Amino acid sequence: MKLYSYFRSSAAYRVRIALNLKGIAYETASIHLVKDGGHNKRPEFRAVNPQMRLPALVTPAGDVLIQSLAIIDYLDATYPDPPLLPKDPIARAKARALAEIVACDIHPLNNIGPLRYLKNVMGQEQSAIDAWYHHWVIAGFEAIEALIESAPYACGDQVTLADLCLAPQVYNARRLKVPLDKFAKILAADEACLKLAAFERARPENQPDAE
C-alpha cells in the first residue's frame, strides 16, 4: 500500500496508527503541506485526491481512498485483526462518538487550510488564531473528558478508533501549547497508547519526512 502523508498531518497520523496496529506494510509518499503554499495544491496531487488533502491511501488493487475515517474503515474491514471498533452496538457508537468529536468537530476548525484562511484572507493576527485553536480543542476535550468512562484506553481495555483520533489531536494540542492539565482521563489514555509500538512508530518525529 502507499500512503500519501505528511509527518505533521494528524489525519494521516490516524491512518499510520491503524496500518501499524494491523501490521500492514506501506510506503510513504510525502506531500509537504507548508512549502510553496502546500505541495498538496499541485496538479500531480490533485489528480490523486481532488480534495487536495491528506491522507490518501492507494490499495494493493490500485484504488485511491481518501478521508481518514473511511480509510480506517476499509482497513478494519479488510484486515479485521485487531478490530478497531467494539462489536457491541452501544460500545461501538460510543467509540465512534469520541472519534467524531475529534475528526468532525475539533480538527476541521484547526487544520492548516482554515488557519491559513484566517490569516491570509480574514487578516487575523497570530494571537487571535492561536486563541481560536485553543478554544476549539478545549471545547472538544471537555466533552471527551466527561464522556470517557473507562481505562486504560479511551473506551476501556481495547484500543479503538477513538484512540486513533485522540492521540494525534493530543500531540497537536501539545505542539500548539494548549493547556491540558485538566484533562486527566485524556492524558491517561494517551499515555497508555504511547506505550504501544504502533502508536510510537506513527508519531510525526518517526516519519521519513520528519523535519
Q: Which residues bind ligand GSH (CB under 6 A)?
A: 9-11, 33, 38, 40, 53-55, 67-69, 103, 111-113
Instruction: Using the minimum distance from each CB to ligand GSH, give the nearer residue, 103 or 155.
Output: 103
Instruction: Using the minimum distance from each CB to ligand GSH, give the nearer residue, 23 or 113.
Output: 113
Place of cell 497520523: 13
**Spatial distance between the Cα atoms of 151 and 178, rounded to a whole number of angstroms:** 23
Instruction: Using the minimum distance from each CB to ligand GSH, give the nearer residue, 11 or 159.
Output: 11
Place of cell 506494510: 25
**Spatial distance between the Cα atoms of 186 and 144, rounded to a whole number of angstroms:** 8
Closest CB 140 distance from ligand GSH, rounded Å: 14
3-state SS class at 161? helix
Instruction: Using the minimum distance from each CB to ligand GSH, give the nearer residue, 42 or 134.
Output: 42
Do the beta carbons of residue 168 and residue 13 sit within 8 Å? yes
Please give the single-letter amino acid code of residue 28.
Answer: T
Closest CB 157 distance from ligand GSH, rounded Å: 26
Closest CB 31 distance from ligand GSH, rounded Å: 8
